[in-house]
Amino acid sequence: MNLAKDWDLFFRIFLIGLTNGALYALVALGYTLVYGILELINFAHGDVFMIGGMIAATVAISMFSVQEGASLGTLVPAILVALLIAMAGCALLNATIERVAYRPLRRAPRLVPLITAIGVSFILQNVALIWKGSAPVAMPRSLPDSAIFTVGTCPDCVVYT
């Protein structure tokens, strides 16, 4: 595989890497903010992200009937509403976890909230297993495999899905 000759593949891999990197940076920023404010490593942070993704996929599929090959007119509002509902759901979940699990332990020794964070992580994982089962949950592939738009007349400046 020669990425210097196959620009289409290079741009696809580049966009996937950019998207994954942005997601990792967002999770790392959340860990940093929580540790900086509470001085607690919240092991349930990634699990809250997982629940948020499951909420977004469920909203997009059930409320908007997003299926494979959906038009952009259906897809864009579905993604926006799903993201807003997922953010609100994750904020509510985090506030509930903080009030129920972490706030009563503010004056406890440092090991107690750490063990509680691991316990909350296990609880969220099992809630997700009960809710959706062990099969992967994903958004249906809606965007085409062809070019979405080109930049000018440059044949290599094409944005793919």
Residue 56 DSSP symbol: H
Q: Is the pLDDT of residue 157 over 80?
A: no
Is residue 2 domain-resident? Answer: no
Query: What digits encode the pLDDT tens for the residues 52-84?
Result: 999 998 898 888 777 776 676 777 888 899 999
Within a 10 A sphere around the Cβ of 70, how many other Cβ atoms?
18
Q: Which domain holds residue 112?
A: 7-159
Q: Show the tokens assigned to 132.
A: 């959706």
The count of structural domains within the chain is: 1
Written as one letter, the residue type at 150 is T
Within a 10 A sphere around the Cβ of 94, how many other Cβ atoms?
19
pLDDT of residue 83: 93
Distance, in Å, from the CA atom of 150 to the CA atom of 141, rounded to the nearest integer, reads 21
Query: What digits encode the pLDDT tens for the residues 32-54?
Result: 988 888 788 888 989 999 999 99
pTM, full prediction: 0.73
Q: Is the pLDDT of residue 30 over 80?
A: yes
Average pLDDT for residues 103-128, to the nearest whole number? 92
Q: Show the tokens assigned to 44.
A: 């349930």
Is residue 1 domain-resident? Answer: no
Is residue 138 domain-resident? Answer: yes
Q: Is the pLDDT of residue 154 over 80?
A: no
- Contact partners, residue 76, CB within 8 Å, separation at least 6: none
Hey, what long-range contacts does 128-137 have (CB within 8 A, 24 or more apart)? 128/47, 128/50, 128/51, 128/54, 131/54, 132/54, 137/53, 137/54, 137/57, 137/58
